[in-house]
Chain A
Amino acid sequence: MALKYFFVLLACAVVLYPLLWMVTMAFKPHPEWTTVAGLTWFPENPTLQNFEFIFFGRAEGLVVSLDRTIVGPLIASLVTSIMGTLVAVVCGTLSSYAVVRFGLAQSLPLSVLQLRLFPPLAVMIPVMVMWSFLGAVDTWWGLSLIYGIVTLPFAFWLMKTFFEEVPVEIEDAARVAGCSYWRVFYRITLPIVKPGLATCALFVFILNWSDYLLALLLTQRDWVTLPVYMATLTSAMGGQMYGMKAALGVIAAIPPVIFGLMIQKHLVRGLTFGALKQ
Chain B
Amino acid sequence: MTDQTAPEISNTHAKAGYWTRVARDGQKMGFWFVLPTLLLLVFIVVFPLLMQLYLSFTWWTPLEGIPWYQAWEVFNWGENYWYMVTDPRFWGALWRTVLIMIVAVPAQFFLGMALAYLFIDQFPGRKLFYSIMLTPMMIVPAVVGLMFFLLFQGTGPINDHLGLPPEFSWLTDVNRAMISVIIADIWQWTPLMFLILLAGMLGVPSDQLLAARLLGGSNWQNFVKIILPRMKTVIIIALVLRAVECFKIFDLVFIMTNGGPGVQTETISVFLYNQTFGELEWAYVATMGLSILIALSMLAMKGLSLMAKK
Task: Map CB proximity to A onto B59-82 as digits: 1 under 8 Å, 0 otherwise.
Answer: 000000000100000000000000
A206 pairs with B41, CB closer than 8 A: no
Would you call the interface of chain B mostly helix, strand, loop, or mixed?
A: helix
B6 adjacent to chain A (CB < 8 Å): no
A174 adjacent to chain B (CB < 8 Å): no
Chain A residues with Cβ below 8 Å from B47 are 126, 130
Would you call the interface of chain A mostly helix, strand, loop, or mixed?
A: helix
Contacting chain B: which of A49-57, A191-199, A264-272? A264-272
What separation, in Å, do the CA atoms of A129 and B9 have in the docked complex?
A: 57
A83 adjacent to chain B (CB < 8 Å): no
Which of these, B34, B118, B244, contacts A8 with CB under 8 Å? B118
B224 adjacent to chain A (CB < 8 Å): no
Give the Cβ gap from B74 to chain A, nearest Cβ, in Å: 15
B139 pairs with A257, CB closer than 8 A: yes
What separation, in Å, do the CA atoms of A209 and B141 have in the docked complex?
A: 10
What separation, in Å, do the CA atoms of A201 and B26 have in the docked complex?
A: 26
B146 adjacent to chain A (CB < 8 Å): yes
- Check A126/B55 contact, CB under 8 A, given A36-B155, A268-B195: yes
What separation, in Å, do the CA atoms of A45 and B294 have in the docked complex?
A: 56
B196 pairs with A12, CB closer than 8 A: no
Which of these, A5, A209, A213, A276, contacts B200 with CB under 8 Å? A276
Give the Cβ gap from A261 to chain B, nearest Cβ, in Å: 6
Chain A residues with Cβ below 8 Å from B300 are 114, 117
Chain A residues with Cβ below 8 Å from B155 are 34-36
Which of these, A18, A112, A245, A268, contacts B37 with CB under 8 Å? A112
Task: Map CB proximity to A onto B189-220 as digits: 1 under 8 Å, 0 otherwise.
Answer: 00110011001101100000000000000000
- Check A94/B196 contact, CB under 8 A, given A11-B115, A119-B268, A124-B272: no
| Chain B residue at minimal CB-CB distance from A242 | B150
| Chain A residue at minimal CB-CB distance from B251 | A212
B174 adjacent to chain A (CB < 8 Å): no
| Chain B residue at minimal CB-CB distance from A13 | B132
B31 adjacent to chain A (CB < 8 Å): yes
| Chain A residue at minimal CB-CB distance from B131 | A261
Those 6 A-B pairs whose CB atoms lie nearest each other, nearest first: A126-B48, A260-B138, A102-B30, A227-B142, A34-B155, A122-B289
Interface residues, chain B, CB within 8 Å of chain A? 9, 22, 25-27, 29-34, 36-38, 40-41, 43-45, 47-49, 51-52, 55, 68, 114-115, 118-119, 123, 129, 131-144, 146-148, 150-151, 153, 155-157, 159-160, 166, 187, 191-192, 195-196, 199-200, 202-203, 234, 237-238, 241, 244, 247-248, 250-251, 254-255, 268-269, 272-273, 276, 282, 285-286, 288-290, 292-293, 296-297, 300, 304
In the complex, besides A25-B150, A123-B49, 20 extra interface pairs with C-beta distance below 8 angstroms are A8-B118, A11-B129, A36-B155, A104-B30, A115-B44, A116-B244, A118-B293, A121-B272, A121-B276, A130-B48, A130-B51, A180-B25, A209-B140, A213-B250, A245-B150, A257-B138, A268-B195, A271-B195, A272-B237, A275-B237
